[in-house]
Structures are given as structure tokens and as C-alpha cells.
Amino acid sequence: MVSKVVILTGAGVSAESGIQTFRAADGLWHNHRIEEVASPEGFTKDPALVHQFYNDRRRQLLSADINENAAHVALAKLEQHFAGEVLLVTQNIDDLHERAGSTQLVHMHGELLKKRCLGCEQITAVTDDLSVESVCEYCNSTAQLRPHIVWFGEMPLQMPRIEKALLQCDLFVSIGTSGNVYPAAGYVQLAAGNGAETLELNLEASATNSLFDQCRLGLASKLVPEWVEELLSQ
């Protein structure tokens, strides 16, 4: 009987909502250099370029075309109806899990709709574009605001909470992530090493696929609702 579940989601869970993944042939990392737009060094070198990259992502996320899909909705339903504990850990910076109703949620790579001031460290909401002229509403400094996103070389957020849940869970499920970016790609080993069952739901097998007990390949909008119904009827 499963009582504690940790779910890791990646870009694949939002793909059917119209948000590009990173490593597909038409993915974000084919048109942008990671070190230019997703590293602290890139931001120091050309903050305007980095702001533009995330401003584009934010505008798209807030456009009327982008909505949560059946996979996000099913995961929110699981949290609401499951008798045990569910922690959803997402690498995604969109807010589609929240829009679907998930609340037990960790954004380990940050959030597109938040900004952080490098001067006073305040984290606040943002829906408009950011620029080098943006002024922090807390400390009034200029050119100190950055997207609240974890870049390459930076520490993912809330790691102690995530690791504790991974070591206590009896089921770990990875959904729509390619298994290329650590530490998230190592969660399967951490959970399995402590006796958890492990399941991958993905369009294509991930780089860490052989570490999972079970794998189902297909669209998240189909696989996730099916799996949620199975778990709720156990």
C-alpha cells in the first residue's frame, strides 16, 4: 500500500499546453545558448539579453493561449483525493501546476512570475517585463532585479525538503523530464536506494530510464490521468 508519493515533473508535462521543452529538436536550447541566458555569468555579461529571454517566456505564459492540461489537472486531483502524502517537485518555472490546483509543490528551478533583488534579496511577484532600468520596490535600487530562476551553477531551491521527502517516500514518479540535469536526475537513485518503487512516465525514455522499476511511454495528458486513477483506486 503506497502512502507517501514524490512526483518530479519536467518540461514534458507542460508541452501539450504549448510551452516548448528544452532539448527537443525545436526546443529552447537549440535556439539559445544556455551559458548566455541561463547562467549568472551570462547575466553579468549581458543582462538585457537575459531579461529579454525571460520576458518572452513570461509574456507567452501569461497569454490567453496557454492553459493547464489534463496532466496538471490529474496531479492536482491526486493531491486532493489521495489518502496519503503527495509532494510535487517541478523543474518547470511556469505556474500551470498551481493553475490546476496543486498546493504541495516545490519549484526547484524557480518561478517565471517572481523576481529577486540582488541588493536586498526580496522575492516579489512579477507579471510585466523586467529590464536593467527596473527599480526594486523594497530598496529602490536600480539594475539589481533578476528573474527568480535557478541558473546553471546555482543551487536548486528547497533541497532539504525535497531530499527528506525522497528518503521517506514509498513511490517516486518522474514525469516528462529527460534526466539530463542534476540533482533532479539523481532523485530516482535516492528514492530507490531507500526502498521506494519508481515509475517513469515520459514521451521518450529518459537518460536514467534503466534505473526505474517501471516505465510507460506516451503523452502526459493520457498517461498521467490513467496512473492517477490507478493510484486513487488502490
- The C-alpha torsion from 157 through 96 and 218 to 212, rounded to 10°, is 20
Query: Does position 10 bind ligand OAD by CB under 6 A?
Result: yes
Answer positive or negative: Cα dihedral of 93, 114, 149, 4.
negative
Shortest Cβ 54–ligand OAD spacing (Å):
10
User: How many C-beta atoms lie closer than 10 Å to residue 56's C-beta?
Assistant: 11
Window 122-151: residues binding ligand OAD (CB under 6 A): 150
Residue 204 C-alpha from the chain's centroid: 18
Encoded one letter per residue, x for contact with ligand OAD by CB under 6 A and - for no contact, window 36-55 reads --x-----------------
Rounded Cα distance between 93 and 57, Å, is 10
- Of the two residues 19 and 145, which places its CB atom closer to ligand OAD in the complex? 19
Rounded Cα distance between 161 and 214, Å, is 25
- Of the two residues 43 and 136, which places its CB atom closer to ligand OAD in the complex? 43
Residue 109 catalytic? yes
Shortest Cβ 49–ligand OAD spacing (Å):
15
Shortest Cβ 140–ligand OAD spacing (Å):
30
Buried b (16+ CB within 10 A) or exposed e, 8-18: bbbbbbbbbbe
Residue whose entry in the numeric block shows the C-alpha cell 500551470: 96
Window 163-222: residues binding ligand OAD (CB under 6 A): 176-178, 180-181, 202-204, 206, 219-220
Q: Judged by CB under 6 A, which of 23, 99, 114, 216 binds ligand OAD? A: 23
- Cis bond before residue 183 (omega within 30° of 0): yes
Query: Does position 109 bind ligand OAD by CB under 6 A?
Result: yes
Binding-site residue total for ligand OAD (CB under 6 A)? 25
Pairing of strands 123-125, 105-107: unpaired
- Of the two residues 35 and 137, which places its CB atom closer to ligand OAD in the complex? 35
Rounded Cα distance between 32 and 203, Å, is 23
Query: Does position 21 bind ligand OAD by CB under 6 A?
Result: yes
- Residues linked to residue 63 through DSSP beta bridges, in sequence order: none
Q: Which residues contact 221 (CB under 8 A, 6 or more apart)?
A: 16, 69, 70, 71
Query: Does position 22 bind ligand OAD by CB under 6 A?
Result: yes
- Of the two residues 140 and 158, which places its CB atom closer to ligand OAD in the complex? 158
Residue ranges binding ligand OAD (CB under 6 A): 10-12, 15-16, 21-24, 27, 38, 91, 109, 150, 176-178, 180-181, 202-204, 206, 219-220
Catalytic residue positions? 109
